Amino acid sequence: MTGIEDARERRVRTGGVDLCVLELGDSSAPTVVLVHGYPDSKEVWAEVATRLAHRFHVVLYDVRGHGRSTAPKPLRGGFTLAKLTDDFLAVVDAVSPDRPVHLVGHDWGSVQSWEFVTVRRTEGRIASFTSMSGPSLDHFGHWIDARVKRPTPRRVGQLLGQGARSWYVYLLHTPAVPELAWRGPLGRSWPKLLQRAERLPAGDYPTASLRSDAAHGAWLYRDNVRPRLRHPREDAYAHAPVQLITPLGDAFLSERLYDDLERWAPRLTRRTLPDKHWIPRTRPDQVSAWIEEFVLAVEEDPEREPRRSDAHAQRFGGQLVLVTGAGSGIGRATALAFAEAGARVVAVDRDGAAAARTAELVRLAGAADAWAETADVSDEQTMEKLAEKVHRAYGVLDVLVNNAGVGLSGSFFTTTPEDWRRVLDVNLWGVIHGCRLFGARMAERGQGGHIVNVASAAAYQPSRALPAYSTSKAAVLMLSECLRAELADRRIGVSAICPGFVNTNITSTARFTGVDEAEQRRRQQRSARLYGMRNYPPEKVASAILDAVARNRAVVPVTPEARGLRALSRWAPRVARRLARVEPKL
């Protein structure tokens, strides 16, 4: 029970059973009630509960027949949604008699909590509801009816897909078999199966009561699923604001189940996580942050409008994102794009004034928080100090965008060792420093994340005019591919972004080797003019970056020419090599 050993315990008597209830935090603060699923006990919430306890009065209880709560006698008929609702009301009357509570449910805890938040007798006792991996049986029944009565190829596919995911539900309805399995081999092997399938951190979860919990909990399904799916309620409307957190990799529930949820929960805020079913254990930081944000917003204004529900806002709201080279161009556009999705943003640039201006724009764009930091990514000690400050002041990153870069053009023999050092220090070593210092903390936290490395179409298209620049970007591309393989088991995605000709100020600051200062300025002005005529905006690259993180894409050529050159390098390398011989006229 890591983190909840010191919780205050009480027993609540209701409907012939004794419920074991734990409380953490200040009892005068808003109350958050956590309801566990199957085959869990309240300990599934340990990591989330301890994180919430600094702001709230946190209550978690063992559902009847689970953990240290007693089981009804007989078991048959003892787990109906009506009796579970009685239990919930008994608990909240004991722990928060004068104020409505904020309800949070996972798996079957969410299934029963949907009942709590949609029946009339609980109205006024629930201030908000956060649902994870557990739909309302009434909503599910109507979802099935719509696909049976008005079938289309897409709807039939959804129905068959969810039917396959629900294989365990059928098994739990068989007499005696689930109990024998859970009290025997399945109960013994379940912890290791769960850790392997869900990548759960090793620890003291599940608890020793698992076998009896799972055997008793089979009656949750038997007492409720078939009756409610056959005859779903027509008035199952939520009477409190609802936050839906959907793990996109859930093996048991399709995200399509929630397509029509606004019909039943008009005050709905949607969130998504690229993870599997047991997110209270695998993503406690993000889950608790979203719960805290939602509860505080409802406390401030119970009638508030729900947050925007576009896909990027669902995915990145409240997450911590750091962008290097954020003072202009692609970096600034990326910082603003994450801000518009509700992320917290750290804007880093060697030009402190430019970073500060980006942070100001980010706050105006809607970021929950924004900070500016000055750092030269090529300086190892500076980056170490930056990482230490960020982790101490803001937390572990959810997304890192290594964007800072410099341009260099000229033949190999006019490129001096100093030129090579400058371009490699920023374009390659800057990425290495970022990945090493920030990525290591992501891996250590064990709750996933994403690293974005901005490379270039020059990473896979050689050019006689860009030997140093292309080498640095090719190295970034390969580094990204290697890191992606290494970090996949830690749920950390890595994406290499390969823009083509994008209208940013890198063209006016790029250096040209082997020419005097006057020719240097002329070529910079000429290249800036050409890129301006192409006029591909950095905002489109930023959009591609957010999409790459949301979809966990490996290599993303952005512009049409980048995509064309990528195809050429893969399918017609001889043509790509001939193209590399062309000398650009500047």
From first CA to last CA, the distance across the chain in angstroms is: 68
**What's the whole-number mean pLDDT along residues 35-45?**
97
pLDDT value at 1 more than 50: no
The Cα–Cα gap between 83 and 89 comes to 10
| Residue 3 pLDDT | 72
**What's the whole-number mean pLDDT along residues 241-256?**
95
The Cα–Cα gap between 586 and 584 comes to 6
Classify domain 315-580 by CATH number: 3.40.50.720
| Residue 481 pLDDT | 97
The Cα–Cα gap between 448 and 441 comes to 10
| Residue 523 pLDDT | 73
| Residue 518 pLDDT | 85
Residue 252, classified by CB atoms within 10 Å of its CB into exposed (0-12), middle (13-18) or buried (19+), is middle
pLDDT in tens, 435-481: 999 999 999 999 999 999 999 999 999 999 899 999 999 999 999 99
Q: Above pLDDT 70, what percent of the chain?
A: 96
| Dihedral-angle region of residue 26 (phi above 0 means left; psi in -120 to 50 means alpha; beta otherwise) | beta
* Domain edges within the chain: 8-309, 315-580
**CB atoms inside a 10 Å sphere around CB 412:** 12
Are 281 and 200 in contact by the 8 Å Cβ rule? The answer is yes
The Cα–Cα gap between 65 and 468 comes to 67
pLDDT value at 206 more than 80: yes
User: pTM for this one?
Assistant: 0.89
Structure token pair of residue 373: 């930091």
**What's the whole-number mean pLDDT along residues 284-303?**
93
pLDDT in tens, 492-526: 999 999 998 886 776 667 788 878 888 778 777 77
In angstroms, the Cα distances linking 272 to 132, 309, 546 are: 10, 10, 14
Instruction: Say whether 315-580 and 8-309 share the same fold.
Output: yes
Three-state secondary-structure class, residue 374: strand
Total H helices, total E strands in the chain: 24, 17
| Residue 583 pLDDT | 81
pLDDT in tens, 54-70: 999 999 999 999 999 99
| Residue 512 pLDDT | 82
Pairing of strands 408-409, 370-374: unpaired
Report the Cα 155 to chain-centroid distance in Å.
27
Main-chain phi, psi angles of 403, to 5 degrees: -110, -25
In order, the DSSP letters of 454-502 are: E--GGGTS--TT-HHHHHHHHHHHHHHHHHHHHHGGGTEEEEEEE--S-
370 beta partners: 345
CA atoms within 13 A on the CB side of 515: 17
Q: What angle do CA 481, 462, 575 make, to 5 degrees?
A: 110
How does the average pLDDT of the chain come out, rounded?
93
DSSP label of 413: G
pLDDT value at 234 more than 70: yes
Are 515 and 573 in contact by the 8 Å Cβ rule? The answer is no
pLDDT value at 530 more than 90: no
Report the Cα 546 to chain-centroid distance in Å.
12
pLDDT value at 395 more than 90: yes
Q: What angle do CA 180, 197, 396 make, to 5 degrees?
A: 135
Q: What is the CATH class of 8-309?
A: alpha beta
| Residue 4 pLDDT | 85
In order, the DSSP letters of 289-347 are: HHHHHHHHHHHH-TTPPPPP--HHHHHHTT-EEEEESTTSHHHHHHHHHHHHTT-EEEE
Active site residues: 469
347 beta partners: 323, 372
pLDDT in tens, 363-394: 998 777 999 999 999 999 999 999 999 999 99
Pairing of strands 511-512, 320-324: unpaired
